[in-house]
Every structure is written in C-alpha cells, then in structure tokens.
Amino acid sequence: MNGGCALAPVSRLASAVRTLAVASAIALGAAVGQQVGAGADTTLGVPLIGQQDIRWNFYPMGSSGDTVGSSGCAISSVAMMLNYYGRTTDPGLVNLWLTHNGGYAFGDKILWSTIDSYSNGQVIFTGWLGADINLIVSEIDAGRPVIAEVRLMGNQHFVILTGYDVNGFIINDPWFDDTVYFVARYGDPSTAIVSIRTYTPQIPLGRGGGRVSWIVNSGAAPHRSE
C-alpha cells in the first residue's frame, strides 16, 4: 500500500493561501523542468491529468483530512494510466470508488491492487519494485506506462513514466500538470526513483500501442506480489 503526495493538507477555508503556494510550485517547476515538445514521438500518448484540477481539487480522500489536490498524485497517476488503456475516468471518480470500496489504508494510502476491481479486471496490478531501469524500459517498450515514486519538496510523490528518448525518460507529473523529462526535474532516475508500480491490460481497450503492441505483450508481464 501507500500513495499520495503527502503535501500539506488544505481546507476550503485556506484556499486562498493554497492558491499562492500552488502558483509558486508551478513557477518553480517551469524553471527547472524541461518541457517536452508536443511533437515528441517517443511517448505512449498517456493523457495528462493534473491533481489540482478544480473539478476534483477539494475532494476529501478516504478517511483522512487530505484532498485530491494536496495528496492525490498516486490516484491521478492511476487515472492517467487507466485512460491510456481506454478506461475513461478521472482522479475524482477513482477517489470516490476507493473511498467507498476499501481502496485506502491508513486514511488515504492507496491499495494498488484494488485497481483490478475498479477496472473490472481489465487492468491488473503486476508489481511494486525498486528503481529497476531495465524493467522500466522493457515495460515502456511493450506499451505499458510505469508509475514511479519520487520525492517532491522532501515528500512522497508519484509520476507516470510515459516514454523515453536520447534525453531520458519522459513523465506526466500530476502536481505540476505538465509533461517533462524526468532528469530535468528529479535528477538521475537510477537514484531519484524510489520505487515503481506496474500494471498490465488484460483485454484490448482501444488505446495503447507503444514501440511494441501492448495487446501482443499484455500476457507477457510476470505477476509480482504487492
């Protein structure tokens, strides 16, 4: 289990203060994160979703006092992954289901394997591992994006690895709501990635298709315990 940015929880009464903090964080990200061009052809086409979108920003997560906007990086990364595989959803819907179906532990820590049930078995959790760069490359080559745990401002954070090229891994970052090179924001992935989460689609869902078709390779991913 685990998941969530662990950034300071924000109440509706403190929304003005939070808006200033978010603006500062986004400005910092723009300064240090090298943007990936819209024409880049090395990504898997994972749709970008920001956790601080006003449509779900203030939704409470589980039984904690945190919100999707402050701590929903893991579920936002999951939502991006599911949309890539053709399951239309968003962080608000994922959070609602997890909250009412035992998908959180310790308040708002996602139980990663519950996404199997949320997707009706269409996407299966296959691994929680360390920073295995070779595995990340092989997953992306098979058309499967990888969720990675990193540190943001000293806190636990999750991003989704969507591709790579000569400049390194490419990520969608739910906190900054942008697509950047991993190294430009978080540094060397071999040391900056704390752990990874992998999922495998079980049936064709209308999306995917990386360097090698995920439909062909969906059955090839080894199952790894949570």
pLDDT digits (tens, 9 = 90+) for 176-214: 999 999 999 999 999 999 999 999 999 765 554 444 333
Per-residue pLDDT, 2: 64
Q: pTM for the complete prediction?
A: 0.79
Per-residue pLDDT, 38: 43
The token duo for 72 is 């929903």
Domains of the chain: 42-201 (3.90.70.10)
Low-confidence residues of the chain: pLDDT under 70: 1-4, 6-42, 204-226
Find residue 50's DSSP bridge partners: none
Q: Pick the closest to residue 51 from 17, 24, 74 (CA basis).
A: 74
Per-residue pLDDT, 108: 95
Per-residue pLDDT, 43: 82
- DSSP code string of 18-76: HHHHHHHHHHHHHHHPPBPPTT--SB--PPP--TT-TTTTT-B-TTSS-BHHHH-HHHH
CA-CA distance, 122 to 89, in Å (whole number)? 14
Cα angle for residues 126, 115, 173 (degrees, 5° grid) = 85
pLDDT digits (tens, 9 = 90+) for 149-160: 999 999 999 999
